[in-house]
Structure 1
Amino acid sequence: MRGRVVQRRVPASPWRDLLTLTLLPVPLLAAAVTASFHAGGTRRWFGGRSESQRAEAQAAKDAAAAAFYELDTAQRDLRISIETITAVDDSPAARRAVTDFQQFGARIDEASGRYITAVDAHDLDRDDLEASVAARARGELARAKDDLVRVKQDLDRFAQGLGPLLGKAETQLARLAPAVERARQALLAATNALDAVRQAGLKADDLAARLAALGPELTRLNQGAGQHGVPETLERAERVARDAEAVRAEAQRLPEKAAEIDRRLVSLRTRAQALTTRAGQVEPVLSELRRRFAAACWQDLQRVPELAAENVKQAETKLAEARTARDEQRWPDATSRLSTVRALLNTTDESVSAASDRLRRLNAVAKDPQQEIDRTRFAIRDAQRLAMAGRATPDPRHARPLDDSVGRLDRAVAGLEGRHPDYWHFLTETEAVRQTVARVVAQIREDRGGAA
């Protein structure tokens, strides 16, 4: 019977299986039923529901695995960000970010542990997997996935909050390599400039010492930020570059500085010689002042020849010291001595010129004092007109000093009467009056400018 069924190629169906079993002898039927259970008969009899639960559990397992992978990737990426921040920033905000990340690590370990436990607890590939077991596995895996997703979402929000800290850290790290390279190039340029100066016959020992002091700093730069920290390395690189650049610039200017010192030595020596000649001409000027004018007009000039001679002598001594410093290439000392010489010669020049200028002015006012009087009265009247412009009465702050200036000028003019007038007093008084008037005019304009 069974052979005939196979020969007639009856289509496979449950009814066909039932018919075949019915036609078998009873012992064989029992053996077949037993074999069907042991050989996966459950999956054939109840395959629809069991396989559906198995598929749903497998889908939950795959979803949980994807969530686990995404969380692990996010944690790895965030760990790199935290390490970037801590390498650069030691602020309270950075330290707080490290603590928060460590706390996230504990949550991630807990969620990952639940996921791994759920996966290990259920073998979804077993042939005899029951539907209830598959359903329970699906539930546990779904809960594990939800935990992983929630932690991932919180981790993403935390990562977004690190944006400012991470941006600052990445900016500093981006600056690190170029800053170190600039420092190295600056040191190389300074070394080359110093070598060129030495080849020109200039020692530049002070510059060489400053450059040598940067050697240990270069060693620390070469050791890297891993040993000394990013902020410290950045600061060191910028400082080395700045100091090396200063050495390079000074080295390049050194030949010009030497030439300038040489020029100043020649120029100041020539000027000292000329002042020696001019100082010898002061005595005849003083003699004429004494002969023609009252003592008050020239007494303060009595020691000009003596002081001029002393200053010129001292200037010549300093010039000799500057020349020695130049020959020994002590540039700061040479510059300092030359500055002293210049100050001495300026003082001498002013005092020698004062005698000649005094005689010229006294001659002019003695010949025609009216010109000085008119000049001063014009300044007073001009200021008075300005004070009254747009006003019925002048401001007392302006009127009082102008009125005092009128009286002061009148007294100075009256002082010219007599046999030996003090023309120098007259000249100093008129000059003082004009200065007072100029201050009043400036005050008026400032007040009106402020009001406008």
Structure 2
Amino acid sequence: MRLAFALPLLVAALVPHSYAGGGTRRWFGGRGESQRAEAQAAKDAAAAAFYELDTAQRGLRITIETITAVDGSPEAQRAVDGFAALGRRIDEVSHAYISAVDAHDLDREEIDAGSAQRARAELTRAKEELERVKGELDRFEEGLAPLLDRAETQLARLAPAVERARQALRGASDALDAVRAKGLRADDLAARLARLGPELTRLNEGAGRHGVGETLQRADRVLRDAEAVRVEAERLPERAAEIDKRLVSLRTRAEALATRAEAVEPVLSELRRRYSAACWQDLQHVPEQTAGAVRQAEERLAEAAAARTEQRWPDVTALLSTVRALLDTTGEAVSAAGDRLRRLDAVAKDPKAETDRARFAVRDAQRLAMEGRSRPDPRHARPLDEAVARIERAVDGLEGRHPDYWHFLMELEAVRAAAADVVTAIREERGAGAAH
């Protein structure tokens, strides 16, 4: 590429003399003067071709630099390699042109017609080679249009993207200042914003150091993270108010649950007195479990209140979630004792009602299984026959002095679930058949 980089100096040295008509000299008439003029015209034309090639190569170099600043793809690398190969061809034809110029001094007064003719021929060949390579260069540049368009699009995005990132950082900083002015701390948000400081430094160092693609990605990342900090900072007063409400609400729930838990032991006593152990033994630890859960909830609430005072917002949120889960689980256990007593009382009073519900569910499934058929599909008939047998066994199980009503309820509930599964399977199969 040594000659290619020397082109500007050569153009400066060679072109002015050509366009000046070769300097001052004495002209002689006749055929020699005509040959000299033709040689000079060939020299001027070759100089113009040389200048055009040099200009085109400069422009193409800028194009390649634009592409490589943004694009590291194999396609871009092939463009670099192609430009290097063209550079070698430009060196060759430029060397031939310079040699032709150096070999013939058209300013000599004693130049003969033969020498002038040889000069014209060599300079014409040099011009044609320069023009041919210029054509190759033009075609190569046309092929770079898609790469150049993508690169210029990326470059056009660069400055706005960096500016948006800076604006987002300023917006996040302003939002933090605003909430602090209201007496709210936002230490975790401030720490997140501080971690973006080095990223801003790299943005300010520019794409020249870090590359266009990496800088665009960094700008997008800074924008996204700074916007997240800003949004959370602006919502912090509302979040603090919500946390205060949740603290009050959960404290009230814990107190109410403690009151409800006091009624569990009398319910268990009633269950023990009136029903067999199988009906209530899974509930006998509910009172002590409830008392422990309520104590644990109250401890977590105290920790949450302290974290709220210190404005440790993530800790407050985590603690309140723990309390809510505790109260939900414990509330279900407390309710289970009362629900158990009510259900057992109902079935003890009228077991036939539960039996009828189960039998109706099975008959409904049997009717669906027989629709359009003389015999049911064994896949549907077997579970329904088994369901009928389970109903009979459950009813028989109520015979005796201390019937297990809870087992009876669970069996009939399972029967209804089995019938529902058969109905679902039949409808899905028929729906699939209709679709085909």
TM > 0.5 between the two?
A: yes
Q: Aligned equivalents of 2:140 and 2:154: distance in 1? A: 22
Task: Tell me the residue number matched to 1:116.
Answer: 98
Q: Aligned equivalents of 2:365 and 2:199: distance in 1? A: 67
Task: Tell me the residue number matched to 2:134.
Answer: 152
Residues 1:349 and 2:313 aligned together:
no
Task: Tell me the residue number matched to 2:86.
Answer: 104
Residues 1:409 and 2:387 aligned together:
no
Structure 1 residue matching 2:163: 3-state secondary structure: helix
Structure 2 residue matching 1:334: 3-state secondary structure: helix
Q: 1:54 to 1:389 in 2, by over 3 A?
A: farther
1:75-115 per-residue CA deviation (whole Å, 9 max, x = no partner) reads: 01110011112222334443343233223222212212222
1:52-95 per-residue CA deviation (whole Å, 9 max, x = no partner) reads: 54454344334323322221121011100111122223344433
Q: 1:278 aligns with which of 246, 260, 267?
A: 260
1:111-131 per-residue CA deviation (whole Å, 9 max, x = no partner) reads: 122223333444556666544
Paired amino acid for 1:379: A
Task: Tell me the residue number matched to 2:381.
Answer: 399
Task: Tell me the residue number matched to 2:227.
Answer: 245
Range with greater deviation from structure 2 (84-93 or 140-149): 84-93
Q: TM-score, normalised by structure 1?
A: 0.85
Q: Aligned equivalents of 1:129 and 1:449: distance in 2? A: 103
Q: Aligned equivalents of 2:309 and 2:93: distance in 1? A: 82
Query: How far is the alpha carbon of 1:190 from its aligned partner?
Result: 0.7
Q: 1:363 to 1:59 in 2, by over 3 A?
A: same
Query: How far is the alpha carbon of 1:415 from its aligned partner?
Result: 1.6
Structure 2 residue matching 1:392: 3-state secondary structure: coil
1:2-54 per-residue CA deviation (whole Å, 9 max, x = no partner) reads: xxxxxxxxxxxxxxxxxxxxxxxxxxxxxxxxxxxxx96x51xx3xx455544
Q: 2:354 aligns with which of 346, 350, 372?
A: 372
Q: Which runs of 5+ in 2 are unaligned?
A: 1-25
Q: How does 1:352-363 map to 2 (within 5 A)?
A: 352-363=334-345
Paired amino acid for 2:392: D
Task: Tell me the residue number matched to 1:206.
Answer: 188
Task: Tell me the residue number matched to 1:257.
Answer: 239
Residues 1:334 and 2:310 aligned together:
no
Task: Tell me the residue number matched to 1:17.
Answer: none
Q: Aligned equivalents of 1:216 and 1:178: distance in 2? A: 20
Q: Which runs of 5+ in 1 are unaligned?
A: 1-38
Structure 2 residue matching 1:417: 3-state secondary structure: coil
Query: How far is the alpha carbon of 1:163 from its aligned partner?
Result: 3.1
1:302-336 per-residue CA deviation (whole Å, 9 max, x = no partner) reads: 22222212111111111111100110111111111
Task: Tell me the residue number matched to 2:14.
Answer: none
Query: How far is the alpha carbon of 1:245 from its aligned partner?
Result: 1.4
Query: How far is the alpha carbon of 1:132 from its aligned partner?
Result: 3.0
Q: 2:119 aligns with which of 124, 130, 137?
A: 137
Paired amino acid for 1:188: R
Paired amino acid for 1:410: E
Q: 1:77 aligns with which of 59, 62, 68?
A: 59
Q: Aligned equivalents of 1:393 and 1:78: distance in 2? A: 84
Q: Aligned equivalents of 1:349 and 1:106: distance in 2? A: 85
Task: Tell me the residue number matched to 1:235.
Answer: 217
Task: Tell me the residue number matched to 2:201.
Answer: 219
Paired amino acid for 1:166: L
Q: Aligned equivalents of 1:70 and 1:445: distance in 2? A: 81
Query: How far is the alpha carbon of 1:199 from its aligned partner?
Result: 0.6
Q: TM-score, normalised by structure 2?
A: 0.88
Paired amino acid for 1:72: D
Structure with larger Rg: 1
Q: Aligned equivalents of 2:373 and 2:196: distance in 1? A: 71
Q: Aligned equivalents of 2:152 and 2:365: distance in 1? A: 67
Q: How does 1:374-389 map to 2 (within 5 A)?
A: 374-389=356-371
Range with greater deviation from structure 2 (151-160 or 139-148): 151-160
Task: Tell me the residue number matched to 1:3.
Answer: none
Residues 1:68 and 2:55 aligned together:
no
1:121-174 per-residue CA deviation (whole Å, 9 max, x = no partner) reads: 445566665443333222112101110111112222322333343333222222
Paired amino acid for 1:418: G
Structure 2 residue matching 1:442: 3-state secondary structure: helix
Residues 1:192 and 2:174 aligned together:
yes
Structure 2 residue matching 1:416: 3-state secondary structure: coil
Task: Tell me the residue number matched to 1:13.
Answer: none
Query: How far is the alpha carbon of 1:274 from its aligned partner?
Result: 0.9
Task: Tell me the residue number matched to 1:287.
Answer: 269
Paired amino acid for 2:329: T
Query: How far is the alpha carbon of 1:367 from its aligned partner?
Result: 1.9
Q: Aligned equivalents of 2:311 and 2:183: distance in 1? A: 10
Paired amino acid for 2:274: R
1:277-320 per-residue CA deviation (whole Å, 9 max, x = no partner) reads: 11111222222222322222222222222221211111111111
Aligned length: 409
Residues 1:163 and 2:145 aligned together:
yes
Q: 1:266 to 1:130 in 2, by over 3 A?
A: same
Residues 1:312 and 2:298 aligned together:
no
Q: How does 1:45-64 map to 2 (within 5 A)?
A: 46=30, 49-50=31-32, 52-64=34-46
Q: Aligned equivalents of 2:381 and 2:146: distance in 1? A: 66
Structure 2 residue matching 1:159: 3-state secondary structure: helix
Paired amino acid for 1:406: V
Paired amino acid for 1:335: T
Range with greater deviation from structure 2 (271-280 or 365-374): 365-374
Q: Aligned equivalents of 1:154 and 1:406: distance in 2? A: 90
Task: Tell me the residue number matched to 2:416.
Answer: 434
